[in-house]
Amino acid sequence: MMDRTGGATGHDSPSRHAMGERSVPLSMSRRGLLRTALAGLAGGGALASAHAARAQSQPAAISTTAGAYVPRPPAAQYRFRVGATRLDPTGRKPVPGITVNGQYPGPEIRVREGTMLRVEAENTLADQPTAIHWHGLLLPAAMDGVPDVSGPTIAPRRIFVYEYPVRQSGTYWYHSHWQLQEQIGLAGPFVIEAKDEPLRVDHDVVVMLGDWLYTSPYAVLESLRKGPAKAAGMKGGEMKSGDATSGGMKTGGAMAGDMKADLADVTYDAFLLNGRSPQNPWTLGARAGARIRLRIINAGASTYFRLRLDGHPLTITHADGLAIEPVTVDHLLMGMAETYDALVTLSGSGSYTLHAVAMDGSGQAVGVLHTPDVVPRPNLAMPPLEGRALDYRDLRSAAPTTLPGGPVRPFTLALGGDMARYVWTVGGQEYPKADPLVIRQGDRVQIEMQNQTTMWHPMHLHGHFFRVLQGAGERAPLKHTVNVPPRETVRIEFTADNPGRWIFHCHNLYHLDAGMARVFEYEA
């Protein structure tokens, strides 16, 4: 049932084989060896917290003499080496990257719901920390991977062991939460197969979208900070998107007062699908009539994509990992960090291009689905984006999502920006110079976001799913990332049921770096 050949991010990753662990608990001797090995490499603090986490989340190893037998969940283990490498996904210009195990995208994590997941993350970088965030995962805050907020910062040449039970299913991803590492390669897919999967498909594949620069994103951010008047090589007011020949910034229009929507900050050199450029695209061979589940992840750092498959509608079955009432559309818009699962049935012999068009029209990423009798041939023409588009009002959860009663804790948060200084704010404050948003366990937290800017902001909450209140009543969809369109207001609510400190931020990487975040903090 599972496709083992089509995915560029195929699940037979060397990292897993190297450890030789898939669904069996670690043996005692192996654990001992690992401890010894790790102790030699790791900083005491990181290791101590890893052990503490394991002590909390896993029962003790089986005793041969006395005591009750405590069954453990199946375990899966991955070894991530975060390191510097050169990447050249387009074959045109190698640039410095930071990846997991030298790969971009990073190795696919694919586990079953109910698994105890363990990821040994070794930071081999000499000059900078790292931190890995498991996007959309419901886990303890100590494993969440956000420096200064939740999980640890992994110092250079240190190891941290992430370990937590996987208690959900669906399509997710992981990425660095340290500075701009996500933009230069530190991201990968994270698939959790459901315990009871109702969908029967012939192929189950990840489609991970990305945006790519030939220049350093730190230089781009610096240009953005210098402001429109000072930055060189940026997109000026009279130029069209894509006029700039190399990566750089775009200007104008993001401030209150200018009513025109501004679709992107950054001019990209390429858009990628499963790490590949349109000239050398990812392909999947499948027979006519095959049912394919596309697990689509927008891992772009600051690009909204419109998706469309030539000649086929897309039946959307899951949003942000969770089942919705299936809805069939011709195309859909995806914000950064959103995921959608789409079912496709190949209509007949042929080569069909999956287009992911950057919202500002400056380019596209493509992949090709084809039958075995046909050579895969990417259609590089920009696709028509006609017919039915997915709308948030189409999203209805497969099951009721009504929250338990609880004291209502309301927040009204303006999403703002100051382009002159390139500062972005939530509730008028610029993170990290921002007050925590205090909540209490059991609260029904209601947030109204008022976008006062002319840009789109995909707002992401860690550690929780929230209901998007847009008219679906008890079937309001649960999401971890919600698009707030320019000048619009979006309401969400969630039950405070996962104590800790959790970041809530715009998933435009440049907006995040420029202050667009706040921390929800549980009162002790």
Binding site for Cu ion (CB under 5 A): 457, 506, 508, 511
Q: Which CB sits closer to Cu ion, 320 or 443?
A: 320
Q: Which CB sits closer to Cu ion, 95 or 506?
A: 506
Q: Which CB sits closer to Cu ion, 147 or 515?
A: 515
**Distance (Å, whole) CA 207 – CA 235:** 30
Q: Which CB sits closer to Cu ion, 467 or 511?
A: 511
Q: Which CB sits closer to Cu ion, 8 or 415?
A: 415
CB 150 within 8 A of CB 36: no
Report, in Å, the least distance between residue 410 CB and Cu ion: 22
Report, in Å, the least distance between residue 511 CB and Cu ion: 3
Q: Which two tokens stand for residue 59?
A: 């029962």
Dihedral angle of Cα 371, 374, 377, 382, to the nearest 10 degrees: -60
Report, in Å, the least distance between residue 368 CB and Cu ion: 32
Q: Which CB sits closer to Cu ion, 150 or 508?
A: 508
Q: Which two tokens stand for residue 364?
A: 């596209």
Q: Which CB sits closer to Cu ion, 118 or 511?
A: 511
Report, in Å, the least distance between residue 175 CB and Cu ion: 16
**Distance (Å, whole) CA 240 – CA 245:** 12
Q: Which CB sits closer to Cu ion, 160 or 504?
A: 504
| Nearest CA among 371, 346, 361, 356 for reference residue 308 | 356
Orientation angle between helical segments 44-57 and 28-41, nearest 10 degrees:
150
Report, in Å, the least distance between residue 364 CB and Cu ion: 22
Distance of CA 512 to the CA centre of its chain: 14
Q: Which CB sits closer to Cu ion, 276 or 505?
A: 505
**Distance (Å, whole) CA 464 – CA 29:** 37
**Distance (Å, whole) CA 324 – CA 339:** 12
Q: In Å, what is the CA distance from 239 to each residue of 23, 358, 449? A: 55, 17, 32
**Distance (Å, whole) CA 279 – CA 281:** 6
Q: Which CB sits closer to Cu ion, 106 or 416?
A: 416
Residue 354, CB half-sphere, CA atoms under 13 Å: how many? 30
Report, in Å, the least distance between residue 216 CB and Cu ion: 21
Helix-strand-coil split of the chain, %, nearest 5? 10, 40, 50
Contact residues for 20 (Cβ-Cβ < 8 A; gap 6+): none
Report, in Å, the least distance between residue 426 CB and Cu ion: 9
Report, in Å, the least distance between residue 223 CB and Cu ion: 18
**Distance (Å, whole) CA 210 – CA 297:** 9
Report, in Å, the least distance between residue 516 CB and Cu ion: 5
**Distance (Å, whole) CA 205 – CA 309:** 15
Phi-psi region of 8 (alpha: psi -120 to 50; beta: other; left: phi over 0): alpha
Report, in Å, the least distance between residue 459 CB and Cu ion: 8
Q: Which CB sits closer to Cu ion, 166 or 506?
A: 506
Q: Which CB sits closer to Cu ion, 250 or 457?
A: 457
Tally DSSP H helices, then E strands, for the chain: 5, 32
Q: DSSP state, 388?
A: P
At 20, the amino acid letter reads G
Report, in Å, the least distance between residue 333 CB and Cu ion: 15
Contact residues for 264 (Cβ-Cβ < 8 A; gap 6+): 241, 250, 302, 303, 304, 358, 359, 360, 362
Report, in Å, the least distance between residue 520 CB and Cu ion: 18
Report, in Å, the least distance between residue 303 CB and Cu ion: 12
| Nearest CA among 231, 215, 154 for reference residue 183 | 215
CB 229 within 8 A of CB 146: no
Q: Which CB sits closer to Cu ion, 323 or 426?
A: 426
